[in-house]
Amino acid sequence: MPKSKAGAAFLLLAFGIAAAQGQGSAGGGARAPYRIECGTATALGTAAVCRADVSTYVGWRVFHAQCASCHAADAQGSSFAPDLTRRMRGMDSRAFFAALDEGYLGPDDPMPPRGANPDVSRYYNELWSYLSARVSGDLPPGPIERLPSTGFAAPD
């Protein structure tokens, strides 16, 4: 098997494990639940453009529709909801899903539960992929595009 193919197979496996178990802490590493490729839009001379696997891409869309009104664009936080790129450091997926299911009654403002809202509850894994990529810094702020499908399975 050529080296590049072995590498792809390994990535596939690592992704599959992370997605299937829904575990691990927010951030990068071998079990990162996302795939990101960033380049520079030299033709336009503008900022880096990043592309992401379909799960992360969908997570980004859902985040901006359902969460950004409080947590702000790119999860960077507002005056009334925390910067999730900091708040979710070290948080595991179980705690993340519980925060969405049950809401969060923290010391500041409470966050209402989201579990009964299918526009959110269907996309927990996608939100997890997106926010993990933001927490690790592998995905900088800004719009993202979808990576072309390579046949690697995204979690449903």
Looking at the Cβ atoms of 32 and 67, the one nearer to ligand HEC is 67
Return d(Cα 32, Cα 1) in angstroms, integer. 24
Q: Measured from the CB of residue 139, what is the shortest distance to ligand HEC in angstroms?
A: 15
Applying CB under 6 A, which of residues 24, 57, 87, 144 lies at the interface with ligand HEC? 87
> Is residue 135 a contact point for ligand HEC (CB under 6 A)?
no
How many residues are present in the chain?
Answer: 156
Q: Note the helical H segments in 22-79.
A: 54-66, 68-71
Looking at the Cβ atoms of 48 and 122, the one nearer to ligand HEC is 122
Applying CB under 6 A, which of residues 25, 28, 35, 71 lies at the interface with ligand HEC? 71
DSSP state of 45: T
Phi, psi dihedrals of residue 114, rounded to the nearest 5°: -120, -5
Burial class (CB in 10 A: 0-12, 13-18, 19+), 82: buried
Q: Measured from the CB of residue 126, what is the shortest distance to ligand HEC in angstroms?
A: 10
Q: List interacting residues with ligand HEC (CB under 6 A).
A: 66-67, 69-71, 80-82, 84, 87-88, 96, 99-100, 104, 106-112, 114, 120, 127
